[in-house]
Structure 1
Amino acid sequence: MVIEESFWRFGKWIDVVIDDLLPTIDDKLIFVGSKTSNEFWPALLEKAYAKVCGSYADLDGGFMSEALMDFTGGVHMEFVLNEAPTYLWDIMDCAAKSQTLMGCASYHGETREAVSPNGIVGDHAYTVTGVFKVMSEGNPVHLVRVLNPWGNTEWNGDWSDKSSLWDTVSKQDLKCRERLENGEFWTSIEDFTRNFESLDICCLSPDFLDRSSGCHWKSQCNFGKWIAGTTAGGSMDNMATFWKNPQFRVRIEELSEDCTHEEGAENILVSLMQNHEKRTRSSQKNFMIGFYVFKVRGESGKFSAEFFNDKTPVEMKSFQNSREVMGFFWLEPGEYLIVPCTENPGQTASFVLSIFSKHETHFEYIEEAEENEDNS
């Protein structure tokens, strides 16, 4: 039997064709399997993804966010949990109600996938499967439900399956409790942010963030290249060449009447992704990448070296050695300049720069032919 799957790779959908032969040892699947013996779609999907990435070996390790985007073509949001906003649980609640995919990663242990005394597996990917608010002795407690994909090994602290804290809630709130050794458990949002390092949310649109049903986030993307000797200027530590990087102008309009905005809430998401040309994942090399956002006022053409000499970015994304970096910001209506770059100058690579905004937004690449205009 021939099976066809589609995956989103670097800004476009690609089709993958596989057969239904699966790798086994002693008639048992070697890799992904199902609890139901006659259910094979997870293993077939895994085989198709292995073909996209090069081999089964290329699926070992990596970033959860990459797989979430490859499978859905969605928007990725990452929250570093020790820096998470106070309203993180509210964001997760909105995401859960809209059936948005969520995953989290635990901190690195002394050895890979070592189990800590509290039951959390180190350097391990988990799925967030729900959020719930209970009343405990008259006080609200915000809970997060987490699934260990192993199907066992669970958190054993407060609000775990056998925690006595469940005795303090009403029978109505007890409906969310399951006392099964199935890898799924509850924890408070406070313990969640202490014991996990990051939260990844992947959605088709950030619309779930808004209470106003008439407000819809819009997306735009541009494909670009850093070319050694011409457009690979490096970070702002390299001011002599920084201006040579590709430059993108963004104009953010006033918010429409259909949208509401809460003070301090983010209104724009910027994603910078390295666009790898080699299919095999193990042969792909990530550079340290990041971007800067500057406020501008009416200038035209490509901005010269003099423009950046005394310019401070209003936002920036620190450099990371990963396929994608993203920033979630609040920017006032107006004009901005986004400069994506590698940390070091002279590094050749392709990239996809995307923005998602709840405002009407105009996003364009500043052509190289304009670079000789006086913008200082």
Structure 2
Amino acid sequence: MYNYKDALAAAMVGGHGPFAFLFGSGAFFRLYMKVGGLLKKEDEQWATILEDYDKETGQRKDNMPGPNCDHKVVLEEFKYQDEDLTKAFFEEFRAFAHFQLLVVNAAGAYLEREKILFQKFLRENRFKLLSNGIAPPKDIFNSSSFASIDITLVAVWLSSLNPDEIERFHLLKRHFSEEVGVKERDVDRHDQQTREASRAIMDKRKVRENDMAQKRHKEFRDRYERRLDQWLRALPAEDKSRFNEKKNVWMRRPNAPVDERDMDLRERFDNEVVLKGADEGMANAQKALAELESGDTGCRVSKHRRMQFYDASFPADGSALGRCEVTPEVCRWMPAIAINPDSRLFDEGTDPDDVFTGRIKSKWLMSALSMLSAAGGVGDADVDEQILRLFVGQIGPDGKPIYGTDVGAYGVRLYKNGQWETVIVDDFFPMLVDTELVEAEDKNSMGVACAYSKGFTELWVPLIEKAYAKYYGSYAAIEDGFVHHALHDMTACETECIFMAAASRGAGKRALWGKMNRFKKNGYIMGAGTVAEHLADRQIQDMGLVFDSTYTVYEVREENGVKMLKLRNPPGDHDEWKGDWSDESTLWTRRTKHRLNVTVEDDNTFWMAFDDFCNCFRCLYVCRWYDPHRWQTQQLTAIWQNGEGGDENAYDTTAGLPTKHNPGCEVVNNPQFAFHIHRPTDIKIKIVQPDVGEANVSEVLPIAAFLCRPKHLGVAGRIQELSKDNIITDTGQPVRDREFNMYASLSPGVYILLVGTYVAGMEGQVDITVMSNYVARTEQIWPPVWTPEKEPTTFAEKMQAEAKKKILAAADGVAAGAAKADAKIKEAKANAVAPDPDEGDEPEEDKMPGGA
């Protein structure tokens, strides 16, 4: 507000206002300030009024106008400021609406949780309530489920209690809530210990897995050298000479161009030595099995077979068992044909009913095997594809695989170190008693200590268990493990373990149901592990569940507003669930039974409410298995090579990634691939560093991959730089790991995959598997897959060809200019006047400019 002090300053200092004439329109003040200047006084000290007012205008300092501005520019900015304000308002309103939805969702989840806890309280404290003179009505529970309670009846009953009863009721409820809190903390602590144990087992086994990878690499190198030696022996002298000239280039660069006269030789080298286009691991395993079947190696005469394979690397004795609890009870080892003469690898398909856990504590492995066999169907008498791919078959006369054996040798494939590794085992198994002494109740197991199928008629179950035992050194080494680890080893798919207590608490329960629906829609394999018995509620301990075991999740459905799941019992013969929506439940209607195809029979399957599922089960195992009939799969290969070796068509693809340890990185020179998406598509990209083939090294490189948008939308151009604006997803910081996975949901358009090493100069290879739920066309855009002899066809290839042509033309121009300048220098020297030799002077040697 304008006051008398402001008026005085305006008149005296600024010389304006109605009272300015009294002060000479500011002349007296200016004279006064000149005197202060002669006396060298500070302005504010000489005239204290200047502490708050400007000495030129007399206006308050805190009310001074700003500098002059261009009003046209300000008005033009209003449009953009208005757009920014509108966007900010929209985002704030959206955040507010999202917050309200979260509050509503959390409130609903809280009420649902309190409803379940209240029913638990009434069930578990019924006798305490009675002893305190509070008698709940008998009809308060309309089912045996924790999720259902007659709210109306409860409200009427509570309103009928007197104040003293209500006080005692709330006291008991508070004590119960405190007990629930303690129990939940115990469960969370138990889950955390399980996570730590899972990581500890993985770290412990990593050492063994690395040793096995090195051993496998050496075996592959030996077989490669043997194939090469045999092939060279059969070559004519002329071909051998030509091969020796090209050997280094062909081995170092599999994609190097080949002269037309060497095409036939190169093709024979690729097919017979490198095994190009074939799975080298599978080929080596089939060769090893064929050698065993011939009886020349590893076999000797047996009373059960003409020739029997004895695995010297995993002998049938106590060392194979290790420190198992059952080791002292094992009396001998017998081949499968001696245990049951009619045993075979597969008999009437592969079903979860064929899986039984023996005395060796490998329940985690058998649970995973049961889940895997259930994923392919039950009771169809077919061998499931995902089980069949775990075994190596010999090639029969008709070119088809044969899975039988005359010597008892089998090859089992496990996915380890980012690749399928084959473990060859014999069919000797540990016995608790001789087959002649097996009692009637033991006819199912036939007296074996290991895992088995009923009557020991099928061998795929004990053979997979034995392969695991051999891979890790003994049966004792596989008595500890986790279901999701085994699922990964048998499917090569990413797996995870979701702990139910934390995931289903509060608003997360609805999110968990949505996740399970998406998992089922994608065809993922799911299983659920029950809680330990000491952590289970008393009310569910007699409900027919097997505690600390794994059930297979078949169906995820919602009918008439009820969320339900269909589950299968763990391996073995067990009771079924006896609670709500069990086979004998009164909640079923004829319509619901028909819609869910429910049959009342002892088939080891049952339905359960989702609320009971969250209460009874501890963890959810998810295997992101991609059904090959529903997902498109493409294979790519990226090679990092330095471009040396005298090959003019070789490109340096070892640029590395932009880090502080890789200055001057040229991201554009890393291997790059284009994906052409024509409709909204879910995509999975799996990147593996293999350990096979001549071009690979056993060392695991630190690498990373990036899925990016190209600079020009719709054009498959190379990525020039990596930034948050063009990266859609990535594998994270470069680390030394054999396997990486990326997931993305892509809109129609073009996308670029770039893979690179941490620093420049690292050479190696990665195999890339692209899986999508719809067709996605892929192409390699760098390095180019075409050569000058092969004309480019795609737009990207033509662009690359044009760019290379311009670079070569520029290089030729520079070289021609340098040659022309050199010719002019020589001509000038030739025309220079030299001293007369008769005068005895010798011509000096030419010196480079600036030389000494």
Instruction: State the TM bucket, normalised to the shorter chain.
Output: 0.5 to 0.7
- 1:139-195 C-alpha deviation (Å, 9 max, x unpaired): 46452324423654877765456665446964435753557595x543456766885
Matched, 1:202 2:618: no
Please state if 1:172 is matched with 2:594.
yes
Q: 1:362 aligns with which of 760, 763, 778?
A: 778
Answer yes or no: is the 8 Å Cα contact 1:125–1:148 preserved in 2.
yes
1:25 alignment partner AA: L
Q: TM-score, normalised by structure 1?
A: 0.59
Q: Which whole-Å deviations, capped at 9, do the CAs of 1:30-86 have from their partners, x for residues lacking one?
A: 33222434443311233245445655455442513322325xxxxx36577656683
Runs (5+) with no aligned partner, structure 2 = 1-406, 435-446, 504-510, 538-544, 642-652, 693-697, 785-799, 805-852
Cross-structure match for 1:45:
464
Does residue 131 (structure 1) correspond to residue 555 (structure 2)? The answer is yes
Q: For residue 251 of structure 1, report the CA deviation from its aligned partner.
A: 1.9
Inter-CA distance 300–34: structure 2 relative to 1 (3 Å threshold): same
Residues 218, 360 of structure 1: 8 Å contact kept:
no
From 52, 61, 81, the counterpart of 2:481? 61
Q: Which runs of 5+ in 1 are unaligned?
A: 71-75, 96-100, 209-215, 256-260, 278-283
Matches within 5 A, 1:258-337: 266-273=681-688, 275=690, 291-297=705-711, 307-308=721-722, 311=725, 313-317=727-731, 324-332=739-747, 333-337=749-753
Is the Cα contact below 8 Å between 2:654 and 2:757 reproduced in 1? no
TM-superposed deviation, 1:345: 12
Matches within 5 A, 1:76-225: 76=493, 86=514, 88-89=516-517, 92=520, 95=523, 102-104=525-527, 106=529, 116-117=535-536, 126-128=551-553, 130-131=554-555, 133=557, 135=559, 138-139=560-561, 141-149=563-571, 152=574, 159=581, 165-166=587-588, 170-172=592-594, 175-176=597-598, 182=604, 184-188=605-609, 196-205=619-628, 207-208=629-630, 217-222=632-637
The whole-number CA distance in structure 1 between the counterparts of 2:481 and 2:598 is: 32
Aligned length: 321
CA separation in 2, counterparts of 1:290 and 1:187?
43
* Cα 1:300/1:53, change in 2 over 3 Å: farther
Q: Which amino acid aligns with 1:219?
A: Q
* Higher helix proportion (structure 1 or 2): 2
Cα RMSD for the two superposed structures: 5.4
Question: Aligned pair in 2 of structure 1 residues 174, 104: CA closer, same or farther (>3 Å)?
Answer: closer
User: Contact 2:655 / 2:670 at 8 angstroms: preserved in 1?
Assistant: no
Q: State the structure with more CA Rg.
A: 2
For 2:585 and 2:464, the matched residues in 1 are separated by: 37
Give the distance between the partners of 1:105 and 1:285, measured in 2 at CA.
37
Separation in 2, partners of 1:285, 1:169 = 61
- The residue type paired with residue 127 of structure 1 is T
Comparing both chains, which one has the higher relative contact order based on Cα–Cα distances under 8 Å and sequence gaps of 6 or more? 1
SS at structure 2 position matched to 1:176: coil
User: Is this contact kept in 1: 2:409–2:424, CA < 8 A?
Assistant: yes
Instruction: State yes or no: 1:31 paired with 2:469.
Output: no
Closer/same/farther in 2, CA of residues 80 and 327 from structure 1, 3 Å limit = farther
**% same residue:** 19
After superposition, the Cα gap between the structure-2 partners of 1:364 and 1:164, relative to the gap in structure 1 and judged at 3 Å, is farther
Question: How far apart are residue 22 of structure 1 and its match?
Answer: 0.9
Q: 2:429 aligns with which of 15, 18, 22?
A: 22
**Hey, what does 1:280 align to over in structure 2?**
none
Higher share of residues assigned strand: 1
Matches of 2:591 and 2:775, distance apart in 1: 42
1:356 Cα shift? 1.4
C-alpha distance in structure 1 between counterparts of 2:634 and 2:776, whole Å = 10
Q: What is the TM-score normalised by the length of structure 2? A: 0.30
Residues 367, 250 of structure 1: alpha-carbon distance in 2 compared, 3 angstrom cutoff: closer
Counterparts of 1:77 and 1:149 in 2: how far apart (Å)? 23
SS in 1 for 2:411: strand
The yes-or-no answer on 1:353 pairing with 2:754 is no
Give the equivalent residue in structure 2 for 1:98. Answer: none
> Is the CA contact 1:144–1:188 (under 8 Å) kept in the aligned structure 2?
no
Residues 187-210 of structure 1 deviation map (CA, whole Å, 9 limit, x = unaligned): 4567668853441142451x43xx
Structure 2: distance between partners of 1:144 and 1:347:
51
CA distance 1:291–1:45, change in 2 (3 Å): same
Name the CA shift for 1:68/1:160 in 2 (closer, same or farther; >3 Å).
farther
3-state SS of paired residue (1:65): helix
